[in-house]
A and B are shown apart, each in its own frame.
Chain A
Amino acid sequence: MTDADLRDAAASPADAAAPLLRTDALTRHFRIGSALSRHMLHAVDEVSISVGERQIVALAGESGSGKSTIARLLAKLYQPTSGEIYFQGRPLSSIRSRGDVLRYRGDVPMVFQDPFASINPVFRVSHGVIRGLRLHRGDLSSAQRRAEAERVFEAVGLTPAAEVLQRFPHELSGGQRQRVGFAQALALRPKLILADEPVSMLDVSIRIGLLNLMAQLRDEQGVSILYITHDLASARYVADRLIIMYAGRVAEQGPTEQLLSSPRHPYTQLMLSAVPDPRAELSVGAETDRGEPPRVIDPAPGCRFRWRCPLAIDECHHVTPELTELAPQHDAACHVARSGQEVRAF
């Protein structure tokens, strides 16, 4: 089947509900220590998630939970150890030729965490956008590239676009630089933007502007965004769906508001209780937990949260819990929750 066939197939009504991107038991292990070492770090284990059209999906978890590894797998910066990624129904492992990879990277660009390190300081900010256009959209003339660069700069709120394009990165604030990152991605006419902690290095008063921009890109440009974050409050603000990662596995996923208002997984409950909220009373739930990261080197079967979980039962120590649908589109990987018992761990 050719690319054109695939695009037509994706556009046909029968497949309209098919997700833009989905992963099937995506797994990535890293060898620890020397080349002969047999110790494996399980960064991502059997993760099956999906991102729909015009959707912002937040991937949340603590550092080391595997969320950035997933982003790199999706960006084809890492090869999966096992499992598969499907983009518009097509397996990523079949995308090999230079042209195909280039096209995929244009469809699924990445925006990085650090706006101070991700833009070349010796060129004007127009450089990155124009270069992306030249590489990914070779049919455009020089004047068209310039016009397109101005269009995307305006779309991300960098106005007057013609003037901002002429500036050097050091002349822009952190928030503006991060907008340049989104403009560069947008210039490729992407379907899905991988945004790895795009606001965590920005000041509080500027973050909201970027979150609003992400929602605006979804609503007006029709792109989907995988928003990787450790900040549940910002995920709640902007995301349609929320995926909670713990120790390389999906702990819970569902529609954002529903998941946060009735979290089923004890880890989600722990994270929620620890979010500082000046408008609420100090919750005491999280006080007993020190937030020590889990060990994911050669993990034995069983729930990876069991050492921190006050509700752990015998089964949790021997059987790895599978994601189970507990409410419409709301899944959790917890033996206790699956048994139908009400989970109130923290």
Chain B
Amino acid sequence: MLSVRDLSVEYAIERGTVRAVDDVSFDLDPGEFIGIVGESGCGKSTLLFAIAQLLVPPAAIVGGGVVFKGQSMVGLTDKQLAAVRWKDLSVVMQSAMNALNPVKSIGAQFKDAMRAHGVSSKEQIADRSAEVLRMVGIDAVHLTSYPHQLSGGMRQRSMIAMAMLLTPELVIMDEPTSALDVVAQRSLMVQIKELQEQLGFAVIFVTHDMSLVSHFSDRLMVMYAGQVAELGATREVFDNSRHPYTIGLTEAFPSIRGPKVPLTGIPGSPPNLASPPPGCRFAPRCPKVMARCLEEPPELYHVTGTLVRCFLHADGGADHD
């Protein structure tokens, strides 16, 4: 349904360019849930923006493409994009406080979105608005509420309800739960998963918190410094992490139930993308770095269904792409 091929995005800066997304490829099937995780600055949000065609200068797609339902998204005019947005593809942003219009009621904002897509019957609008709001567990009386009258969790739920208005096939979410408390976060994740199973839309879920998606996503993509570090089935990526960065990430969380062990996190910080290291981008922080890693950049290697960008797994890469 969605095919991202060799996608690269660059930001123009004073001196040259910064490649925030470098050669990222993945496919998404209808109804699939993919999690994209990484640290700040790893390009995960830029990737989302590129897929949804929301990039604004100085960022621009410089290579590769995005094909959604057989149509190339790159180069569409605003008018063509407007027809796709909300209807086929919705985006739920990180901060619902900023995404909702503070001077319009929730219902009025739902109405705007539906009318822009040709739904004009008042009755139909009212029915559907109440329906999607109930789907996310909010009483329909809140259609007349303004964003400031709702809690953070309810605002974020309303955004998800709005994304659901026109039953899109793909919902793109950028850290939708990061502003919420742990209980509200869990509740929202469970709800997103339920709706997804019920309505069958596909989800791209971006987060910095790997453990958050561990029970919800089908596949997991770990990004580092603009590139895919590891991509595979979620359980596999957790249980048999292969890239040293993924291993570092999974070991950076203190456990709430397991044995209490001293942790070290990952020393150092991500590279400056204006001048990335010549070899593997993770090499300066990698506990398993080899001479080769400092000189040539590793490709993505296939290891039993998982893609790993690490020379440690190059031998399993006879059919690497």
Contacts and interface: CB of A to CB of B under 8 A. Distances in A.
Contacts of B154: 292
B153 A205 contact: no
A276 interface: yes
Interface in B170-205: 180-187, 190
B39 interface: yes
Contact of B256 (A205, A236, A290): A236
A220 to B, nearest CB: 16
B304 interface: no
Interface stretch (A25-33, A105-113, A132-140, A227-235): A227-235
Contacts of A272: 256
A205 B91 CA distance: 27
Interface in B130-182: 137, 151-154, 180-182
Contacts of A221: none
A274 B255 contact: no
A207 B211 CA distance: 15
A120 interface: no
Contacts, number: 130
A117 interface: no
Interface residues of A, number: 42
A278 B266 CA distance: 19
B64 interface: no
Contacts of A276: 182, 185-186, 209, 211-212, 214-215
Nearest to B138: A290
Chain B's interface size range is 35 or more
Interface in A252-278: 257, 260, 270-278
Interface stretch (A14-22, A77-85, A96-104, A281-289): A281-289
A233 B187 contact: no
B264 A236 contact: no
A158 to B, nearest CB: 13
B64 to A, nearest CB: 27
B145 to A, nearest CB: 14
A294 B249 CA distance: 34
A173 interface: yes
Interface in A203-234: 203-209, 211-212, 230-234
A292 B184 CA distance: 7
Nearest to B238: A278
Interface in B17-59: 39-40
B185 A291 contact: yes
Contacts of B250: 278
B278 interface: no
Given A276-B215, A277-B257, A290-B137, A207 B187 contact: no
A237 B211 contact: no
B87 to A, nearest CB: 29
Contacts of B181: 62-63, 230, 291, 293
B276 interface: no
A38 interface: no
A175 interface: yes
A211 B254 contact: yes
Contact of A291 (B180, B255, B265, B269): B180
A278 B186 contact: no
Contacts of B254: 208, 211, 233-234, 236-237
Contacts of B100: none
Contacts of B152: 63
A290 B252 contact: no
B190 A287 contact: yes
Contact of A206 (B151, B209, B257, B269): B269
B210 A204 contact: yes
Contacts of A205: 39, 248-249, 252, 265-266
7 tightest A-B CB contacts, nearest first: A291-B184, A208-B265, A278-B214, A291-B183, A237-B254, A62-B181, A205-B266
Interface of A: 62-63, 173-175, 203-209, 211-212, 230-234, 236-237, 257, 260, 270-280, 282, 286-287, 289-293
19 contacts: A204-B209, A204-B210, A204-B249, A205-B39, A208-B263, A209-B264, A212-B262, A257-B260, A260-B256, A274-B185, A274-B187, A276-B186, A278-B210, A278-B214, A279-B255, A280-B257, A286-B187, A290-B153, A292-B151
